[in-house]
């Protein structure tokens, strides 16, 4: 991207965990910054993460993507919540140090977003003005439940839920009910026809690229409103 710098970073999570890597995209005219955590099955360089990061940078939203320790080490099983939430907290601190003048937000795809809110429920993430969920995984596939959303009542910043209509990990009726219960903190934006990966079928009359644009635009509106 013309004019947008990409910077590799490393930061420590803890003495026993060690360091992880991250990527900072910083447009020259950035006026906001968001920390983006990846999903359970793919790291920060996954095509979806690359695409959303690029679109956000095009909208003057700097972003820091990072690896969870298990992904950094090449393991398949996601880190346990204490390690994952410590990583989120370290990533937020790193982002704040890299661009201290920018309003700060956090969130991520699926597991990454849930670990971000889990961290924020335990103790506020310093400086974070809102959390963005790129598909909150409310329950395992074919096992509808709202238990994974219980901790969200302890998060004291605005929440943006970007949820796909056909997401097998978040029954739309359940996620809608949860957002209503979290009002006025929660905003729900439904991606029509999308699945958990935000893929839309050809019959939808639009492409996955169109959906990515819609996601980025929703993040743009939310972060601008709370900056």
pLDDT tens sequence across 28-64: 999 999 999 999 999 999 999 999 999 999 999 999 9
Measured CA to CA in angstroms, residue 66 lies from 76, 205, 224 at distances of 16, 33, 23
Q: Is 70 helix (H, G, I), strand (E, B) or coil?
A: helix
Buried b (16+ CB within 10 A) or exposed e, 72-93: beeeeebbeeebbbbbbbbbbe
pLDDT at res. 59? 96
Output the domain CATH number for residue 34: 3.40.50.1820
- For residue range 58-69, list pLDDT tens digits in order: 999 999 999 999
Name the pTM for this structure. 0.96
Structural domain of 122: 5-225
Q: State mean pLDDT over 103-125.
A: 98
Q: Is 5 helix (H, G, I), strand (E, B) or coil?
A: strand
Find the range with the poorest average confidence among 2-11, 42-51, 122-131, 158-167: 2-11
pLDDT at res. 5? 80
Model confidence at 1: pLDDT above 80: no
The confidence band for 205, taking pLDDT boundaries of 50, 70 and 90, is: confident
Q: CB under 8 Å to 189, separation ≥6 — which residues? A: 160, 161, 162, 163, 218
- For residue range 207-224, list pLDDT tens digits in order: 999 999 999 999 999 999
Q: How far apart are CA 112 and CA 145, in angstroms?
A: 19
Helix residue ranges per DSSP H, the chain: 47-58, 69-72, 81-98, 111-122, 172-181, 208-225
Element (H, E) at 67: none
- For residue range 194-204, list pLDDT tens digits in order: 999 999 988 87
pLDDT at res. 196? 93
45-49 CB contacts, 8 Å cutoff, 24+ apart: 48/109, 48/197, 48/198, 48/212, 49/109
Residue found under tokens 């099955």: 41
Question: What's the number of domains the chain is made of?
Answer: 1
The confidence band for 15, taking pLDDT boundaries of 50, 70 and 90, is: confident
């Amino acid at each position: 991207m013309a004019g947008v710098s990409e910077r590799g970073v490393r930061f420590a999570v803890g003495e026993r965990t060690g360091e992880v890597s991250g990527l900072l995209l910083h447009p020259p005219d950035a006026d906001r910054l968001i920390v983006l955590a990846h999903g359970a099955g793919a790291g920060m360089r996954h095509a979806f993460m690359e695409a959303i990061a690029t679109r956000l940078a095009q909208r003057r939203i700097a972003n820091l993507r990072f690896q969870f320790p298990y992904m950094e080490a090449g393991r398949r099983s996601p880190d346990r919540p204490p390690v994952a939430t410590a990583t989120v907290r370290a990533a937020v601190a790193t982002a704040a140090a890299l661009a201290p003048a920018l309003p700060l937000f956090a969130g991520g795809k699926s597991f990454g977003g849930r670990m971000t809110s889990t961290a924020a429920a335990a103790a506020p993430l310093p400086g974070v003005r809102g959390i963005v969920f790129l598909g909150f995984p409310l329950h395992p596939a074919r096992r509808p439940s709202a238990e994974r959303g219980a901790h969200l009542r302890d998060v004291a910043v605005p929440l943006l839920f970007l949820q796909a209509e056909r997401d097998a990990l978040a029954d739309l009726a359940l996620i809608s009910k949860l957002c209503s219960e979290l009002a006025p903190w929660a905003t729900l934006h439904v991606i029509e026809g999308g699945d958990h990966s935000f893929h839309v079928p050809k019959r939808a009359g639009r492409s996955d690229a169109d959906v990515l644009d819609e996601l980025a635009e929703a993040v743009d509106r939310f972060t601008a409103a709370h900056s």
